[in-house]
């Protein structure tokens, strides 16, 4: 959700994307976020999440296995995450999609469409920074699964 503006984040994601290219077809799909004022009512916040959710869902194909990144999701360590990625590929889920919501989070419709929810802890991180963290963790998972010492 949203456009990546910071050069250092773009460079980090580009580096891990390049490294991932030897393991998989890795692609970042940006979806425009909803412009909204700072102060919103509860109903307005839900409306923003709903409109953003519609844009996200329009990009997800039926066959994709979807991880929604959400604070209330299940925490995993890097080895568990790597095992899960490996298991998904083994059981025919070769198209894996990770969804990072906007500043208000993900809509109920996106959460319902997800096959699993993943949390990177209770910290609140800007969604642009989360893109870099997630990209590195996906790379780390592939490195763990290949037996590389990168993870140590």
Binding-site annotation: residue ranges for S-adenosyl-L-methionine: 69, 101
Detail the residues annotated as belonging to a binding site: 69, 101
State the distance between the two ends of the chain, measured CA to CA, in whole angstroms.
32
Cα dihedral sign for 31, 61, 99, 90? Answer: negative
């Amino acid at each position: 959700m949203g456009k990546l503006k910071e050069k250092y984040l773009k460079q980090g994601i580009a580096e891990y994307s390049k490294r991932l290219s030897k393991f998989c077809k890795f692609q970042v799909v940006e979806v425009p976020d909803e412009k909204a004022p700072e102060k919103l009512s509860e109903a307005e916040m839900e409306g923003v999440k709903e409109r953003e959710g519609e844009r996200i869902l329009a990009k997800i194909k039926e066959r994709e296995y979807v991880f929604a990144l959400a604070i209330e999701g299940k925490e995993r360590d890097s080895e568990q995450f790597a095992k899960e990625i490996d298991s998904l590929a083994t059981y025919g889920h070769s198209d894996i999609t990770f969804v990072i919501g906007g500043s208000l989070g993900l809509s109920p419709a996106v959460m319902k469409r997800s096959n699993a929810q993943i949390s990177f802890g209770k910290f609140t991180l800007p969604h642009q920074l989360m893109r870099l963290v997630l990209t590195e963790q996906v790379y780390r998972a592939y490195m763990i699964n290949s037996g590389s010492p990168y993870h140590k």
